[in-house]
Chains A and B, each alone.
Chain A
Amino acid sequence: MFRVSAFKRLTSSDTSIGKLSHQLQQQCSVSRTAKGKGKVKAAQTLKRSKAAPKKGGDTGGGRKTGLAVELEEMAKKCLNAPTPIRFLKPKERAREAEREKLGLVSKERQREMDALKKQAKEGTGFEKPSTMGTPGLDLISLGLVDADAIPKYELTVEDGRRLAKEYSRVLMRRHRARQKAETTLLRLKKEAIEALPEPLKAAALVPDLAPFPPNRYMATLTPPIEGYIDKIREAAERSSVKEKLR
């Protein structure tokens, strides 16, 4: 049953399940998912890795079409994709500096130097506030934040520390105010209960364990639009009808 479940899940491309595919025994041929094939190749020993790309993989080798090749290449590119700034430990940086003195420059170092040159020519491009999240629904355009009230900063460590301190100060101030308000609420409640006459006081002290109403509205980013859910329901029915006709 274990193997059957593994096979069923291999049809979706998922890296963690892809790893499972070579721990369990692969009795059935792998379907055309690039990530599954890529992981299988990486698990083989180094000696075979040079021969395998030329052969085109052994499991299900006959089935490879142009699409699979494309997917594989893309997967390889993604796995080795570069980052805008390289993260190097101080020892590694020292080693790179020494190699430069010797005249040896690695590919990544070369890329970094090119990027720096380009930046020196064009400028950092950090002046306009970059949008976080999906274009229409990010916080600035929704009116949640005033764009001009945001403090200016550079992407340096000192500025980061200063921003972090202010952030922490604002949030802690708010937290303390909230705690104070809640303590006041509790105190007022206790005083009110004390001020009640005896039979009512006993009734008030009974904890109300009835469940919260299930349709209590939870605050969202934007207010609800009337009649939108009917639109969605209609569209879902339409699209599901199409699937059944297959």
Chain B
Amino acid sequence: MQRRCTTPLMKSLRRFSSNSSTDKLVASVLFERLPIVVPKIDPVVYAFQEFSFRWKQQYRREYPDEFYKKYEARGKGDYKIDYKPASRITEADKTNDKRSLERALDRRLYLLLHGTTYGSPDGKPVWHFPEKVYENEETLRKCAESALQSVLGDLSNTYFVGNAPMGHMNVQPTEKADPLKRFFFKSQVIAAKNYNISGCDDFVWVTKDELLEYFPEQAEFLKQMIIS
């Protein structure tokens, strides 16, 4: 895939500028929501923890019951509220509502948009990451930020991780168009339950497995770039 860049490289050598100056660069954003709930525990791991707990419990002293009653009776000044823990499987899970952020709470969710983009073949609406073609901004990260801003409205609840891209892809959309280089930038959801997604007809929040379904030909690359 890298070999396609050598002809523009030969051209640019005469002009002393860097490689791929004729290539178009596209900054796209991998917008992820980190897991809200601790992941499931392997039963083998739990079995060992239980075994070790019980084994050590055999050698611990058994205090008389009055001790525990005294211990409980101490906190009289505290308030007592009934606490019922919220379930880990939310309603969005049961209805499989892909647009809500509450879906798979123990996995990461990634944002996907549906619409026309620069790299889509023949201008048909397609599923893609939020992206923007690089014009003369200072850094590619700023370009990515403006891409996300055009989708979300404002960036107050996002966090871009680092100045460098996390992966790149060379895309040849159609024979007549220029080859594109797509750079992915990582950004995370901070403290927000739902977003106002605009600028496209549809959006989904998907887990990694579902993401691989949306992009069948780039599945290998995405599997390497995204853990879990």
Contacts and interface: CB of A to CB of B under 8 A. Distances in A.
Interface of A: 74, 77-78, 81-85, 87, 126, 129-130, 132, 136-137, 139, 142-146, 149-151, 153, 155, 159-160, 163-164, 166-167, 170-171, 178, 181-182, 184-185, 188-189, 191-193, 195-201, 203-208, 212-213, 215-217, 219-225, 231-232, 235-236, 238-239, 242-243
A197 B64 CA distance: 73
A85 B58 contact: yes
Given A74-B70, A78-B67, A239 B37 contact: no
Contact of B191 (A159, A182, A217): A217
Contacts of B36: 217, 219-220, 223-224
A220 B18 contact: no
B164 A222 contact: no
Given A192-B183, A222-B86, A223-B36, A167 B45 contact: yes
A34 to B, nearest CB: 10
A146 B176 CA distance: 55
Nearest to B62: A81
Interface in B1-42: 17-21, 25, 34-38, 40-42
Contacts of A74: 64, 66-67, 70
Interface of B: 17-21, 25, 34-38, 40-55, 57-64, 66-67, 70, 77-79, 81, 85-90, 102, 105-106, 134, 138-141, 159, 161-168, 181, 183-184, 188, 190-191, 224-225, 227
11 contacts: A145-B41, A151-B44, A155-B58, A163-B48, A188-B166, A192-B184, A196-B25, A201-B18, A213-B190, A216-B188, A239-B79
Contact of B46 (A150, A220, A239): A150
B45 A203 contact: no
A196 B50 CA distance: 52
Nearest to B227: A181
Contact of A198 (B18, B35, B41): B18
A144 B40 contact: yes
B168 A195 contact: yes
Contacts of A139: 41, 46
A207 B14 CA distance: 32
Contact of B164 (A87, A178, A192): A192
Given A149-B43, A155-B54, A232 B61 contact: no
A166 B42 CA distance: 11
A155 B54 CA distance: 8
